[in-house]
Structure 1
Amino acid sequence: MQATDEVVDLVSRLIRFDTSNTGVAETTVGERECAEWVARQLEEVGYVTEYVESGMPGRGNVFTRLEGADPERGALLIHVHLDVVPAQAQDWSVHPFSGSVQDGYVWGRGAIDMKDMAGMALALARQFKREGYVPPRDIVFAFLADEEAGGRWGSHWLVDNRPDLFEGVTEAVGEVGGFSLTVDRPDGTPRRLYLVETAEKGLSWMKLTCNARAGHGSFLAAENAVTEIASAVARIGAHQFPLVMTESVSEFLKALSEETGLDFSPDTPDLESALFKIGNIARIIGATLRDTANPTMLNAGYKANVIPQQAEAVIDCRVLPGRQAEFERTIDELIGPNVQREWVMHLDAYETTFDGDLVDAMNEAVLAYDDAGRTVPYMLSGGTDAKAFARLGIRCFGFAPLKLPPELDFAALFHGVDERVPVESLVFGTNVLEHFLHHC
């Protein structure tokens, strides 16, 4: 059986496993069951697999290695995560864990983030083993837990505690990239840009705390922790960090200008708004032009007539490569001397260059199935498991190829209601990945 014959069914079956990751260990479900099922699909065609629970019961990960023709070459890691963000069934047109195949789409939580890529990787791994195919170099397939909560009990735990699983790996491919963005050329003909992730912003969750004197709500209060924390949060929320052109973003904007004939140079007035000329993907691209710090949580007080001793806030910080020190200096100025900060979680930014044999193989694979395509680099405003693997010196890319309908608001489907992936996109992506892995 060819990979394209079973990829839709595999993606649908993966979605039916409720692998919701709440970020709280006691309420996170399904990873072990799903990982064990993946292991069975691999073992069925002759793979030897290793199931690993990453530091906590139920956080299941599955690894297998397909030996290549040249054992002296560095291995390639194909990594996917099996967990998904939660979904509320009452909000959806179909049940989010149904894996329903209808109207030309596979529906459900994880359809694009990222059980589509998991299904494609699994289908190809099975095909390669059935055929007795030997790739140019070793390929390590990894199906991972806990990406949606930062990978503490997934990729980062594995890097810290089981680096042997990545022995010999020099390059890696995972999410979020390889999807098409259709733009119009000056003559009106469409051009599909396939965005390869070469960079991602740093991810930091920062907790702010203010301690002050408690007192009666009717008294004059020289100190008020709520006022201090609210003022700090307001200053952060209102601050606009400077426009910074990283290499990945600069190359993307240059390619976009070349293809559309429009000006997307750094000097363009209100560049973020100008980007919406290319569609809703501008929400992702615009967020990579500068650092962001978005207040997301507030906590203070326990009674209406008591001025509390402590107030807290949480800020979601996304920082461009090379900007962490300057970002922290700015935050310290904004919060003032009476508010303390600490990192609840911190993962570094990552960036690599858009060149080399692996990039050439991606481009050739796309062009083999879409002669109107062009691969371009871009930066992801969020984060992936690549942050963990980069700590091992592995060069990481996001390349989960999908040829998408121009009208599909792809960005809105990530963690959104009615998440779905076109059936034709899965077949296209499987073909492209197969070509890529034959020439990697």
Structure 2
Amino acid sequence: MSDATSRRNEASEAAADRTSPDAEVVEICRDLIRIDTSNYGDAQGPGERGAAEYVAQLLAEAGLEPQLYESEPQRTSVVARWEGADPSAPPLLVHGHLDVVPAVAADWSVDPFGGEIKDGCVWGRGAVDMKDFDAMVLSVLRARARGGRPPRRPVVLVFTADEEAGGRKGAHWLVEKHPEVLEGCTEAIGEVGGYSVTVRDDLRLYLVQTAERGMAWMRLKAKGTAGHGSLRNPDNAVTELAEAVSRIGRHEWPLRITPSVQAFLDEASEALGVDLDPNAGDIEQNLARLGTIARMIGATLRNTANPTMLDAGYKVNVIPGEATAAVDGRFVPGGEEEFLATIDELIGDKITREMINFDAAPETEFAGALVEAMKSSLVAEDPGARAVPYLMFGGTDAKAWDRLGITCFGFAPLRLPPDLDFVGMFHGIDERVPTESLKFGARVLDHFLDQA
């Protein structure tokens, strides 16, 4: 028996009821964090194989038949089908990713891969992005298996590789090479949604992702005339690139309000009693009323482009013939053409661009039976809950599933302390999630699977 299995069994035996959906969620989250799945976006890193085998073991113990899929050695995704009470119903896709962004241990106050419990939280890389949701799903599944409680309808469980680098070796690869594993799925839930923002003691907004911005990771390249650093050179690649990068970094993108953003602003305006009219000149100032999520919502009001990397030269007295830069570009749903046209205008004729990663900006309506199931499952655990739609500032594997026509929502429920900077936890130092939030999320998911 592995140490991880032993710890889970001890934790489960100590629990009042092993069929409780939250019985194992904390220990599973800790175990997953302890498996380093850092994704550097290249050939570095350990891959997801260790975490995939751990997940497959938990699924097999619950009576499922997990399958491992590898796009490359160690770049492993897990797929399993969980039969429902109504086998004729279309299956629901429930997805999470196994990889995490790297962590520099010296920057942290704890071991980023230690899974330590401190101050009522589980600490470590992946605690909120997104081994917390993986743990919730696994804990709920195992508890329901013990109690003989299948979900209302079949569920396809997918735990992917490579999400943090765009999913080309994970979700997108599955869509291209093994679309049959998703056959019949028309709806999905996954990360970055369902978490709370406290308005007052009796009201919490739970943000459900109904859209996400598109991704345009670009490499800019300038070519010039190489030469001695002591001579005049009007054809300097570094100068051309620096000017283009500066224009991009300082560009003021106009507001572009999508239906998901407008729906969120309407809900937040009513809850806060403040006018969040995007056409008002003080929209940015009023957003500050939203607390720690203000900068996240602010990023969804428009397209953005941020220079992130520069590379040129090899010696201080040599003018290089080439210089490159990387830019993280994001565009709102429907904003792709405007975004690319603006970038081309900003870089000018002397700079070329190529896409490192380009992906869509899906958006869906906040309506239907699945949404009603989300709302009622939240209220079952928090009477002060109000589910509201929002546009997610980054990207998820939903971009891949969207290619198959699957309607995707971000619903990884967490009731959070009012003072926790949850947005700052994503890819941040000292990433952590409250243990009570994990347990809350597991209970909500349990209600959800009875109704979804």
Q: Any idea what SS the aligned residue of 1:51 has?
A: strand
Show the counterpart of 2:222: 210
Are 1:423 and 2:435 counterparts?
yes
Separation (CA, whole Å) in 2 of partners of 1:395 and 1:275: 29
Matches within 5 A, 1:39-438: 39-53=56-70, 55-184=71-200, 190-438=202-450
Q: CA deviation at 1:306?
A: 2.0
Structure 2 counterpart SS, 1:192: strand
RMSD value over aligned CA atoms?
Answer: 1.2
Distance 1:273 1:320 in 2: 21
Q: Report sequence identity in percent.
A: 56
Shift of 1:413: 0.8
Contact 1:178 1:194 (C-alpha < 8 Å) held by counterparts: yes
The letter of the residue matching 1:400 is: A
Q: 2 CA distance for matches of 1:223 and 1:97? A: 48
- Aligned-pair CA distance for 1:217: 2.1
* Range that drifts further, 428-437 or 38-47: 38-47
Q: Kindly state the Cα deviation for residue 73 of structure 1 after the two structures are TM-superposed.
A: 2.5
Query: C-alpha distance in 1, partners of 2:99/2:51?
Result: 9
Residues 38-84 of structure 1: CA distance to partner in whole angstroms, max 9, x if unpaired?
Answer: 1111111211111111x200011111111123333321011011111
Indicate the SS of the match to 2:253: coil
Shift of 1:169: 0.7
Query: In 1, are the aligned partners of 2:79 and 2:156 still within 8 Å (CA)?
Result: yes
Structure 1 unpaired stretches of 5+: none
Structure-1 separation of matches of 2:315 and 2:430: 40
Bigger mean CA offset, 371-380 vs 274-283: 274-283
Q: Which stretch shifts more, 89-98 or 6-15?
A: 89-98
CA contact under 8 A between 2:48 and 2:74: conserved in structure 1? Answer: yes
Contact 2:223–2:323 (CA<8 Å) still a contact in 1?
A: yes
Q: Distance in 1 between matches of 2:425 and 2:76?
A: 26
CA distance in structure 1 between the aligned counterparts of 2:387 and 2:358, rounded to whole angstroms: 31
1:10 is matched by which residue type in structure 2?
A: I
Q: CA deviation at 1:332?
A: 1.2
Please, which moves more after superposition, 159-168 or 100-109?
100-109
Q: CA deviation at 1:203?
A: 0.9
SS across alignment from 1:268: coil
Structure 1 residue 136, shift from structure 2 partner: 2.2
Give secondary structure in 1 for the equivalent of 2:22: helix
Paired residue type of 2:168: R
In the TM superposition, residue 405 of structure 1 has moved relative to its aligned partner by 0.4
Does the 8 Å contact 2:62/2:141 carry over to 1? Answer: no
Q: Secondary structure at the match of 1:281?
A: helix
Comparing 30-39 and 352-361, the one that deviates more: 30-39
Please tell me whether the aligned partners of residues 17 and 30 of structure 1 are also in contact (alpha carbons under 8 angstroms). no
TM-score between the two structures when normalised by the length of structure 1: 0.96
Report if aligned partners of 1:47, 1:129 keep a CA contact under 8 Å in 2.
no
Conservation of the 8 A alpha-carbon contact between 2:214 and 2:360: yes
- Partners of 2:417 and 2:359 lie apart in 1 by 33
Give the distance between the partners of 1:305 and 1:89, measured in 2 at CA. Answer: 36
The one-character-per-residue Cα deviations of 1:125-158 (angstroms, maximum 9, x if unpaired) are: 1122222223221101111111111111111111
Partners of 1:211 and 1:309 within 8 A in 2: yes
User: How much does 1:96 deviate?
Assistant: 1.0
Inter-partner Cα distance in structure 1 for 2:234 and 2:102: 43
Deviates more, 1:232-241 or 1:295-304: 295-304
2:54 to 25, 37, 44: 37
286-295 or 262-271: which moved more? 262-271
SS state of the match for residue 129, structure 1? helix
Corresponding position of 2:28:
10
Q: Write the letter of the residue equivalent to 2:97.
A: H
The 3-state SS of whatever aligns with 2:186 is strand
What amino acid is aligned across from residue 259 of structure 1 in structure 2?
A
For 1:143 and 1:218, the matched residues in 2 are separated by: 56
Sort the Cα spacing of 1:270 and 1:231 in 2 relative to 1 into closer, same or farther, 3 A: farther
Q: Distance in 2 between matches of 1:107 and 1:160?
A: 35
Cα distance in 2 between the residues matched to 1:160 and 1:20: 24
Match of 1:169, SS? coil
1:104–1:423 CA contact under 8 A, matched in 2: yes
Q: Distance in 1 between matches of 2:102 and 2:324?
A: 26
SS at match of 1:350: coil
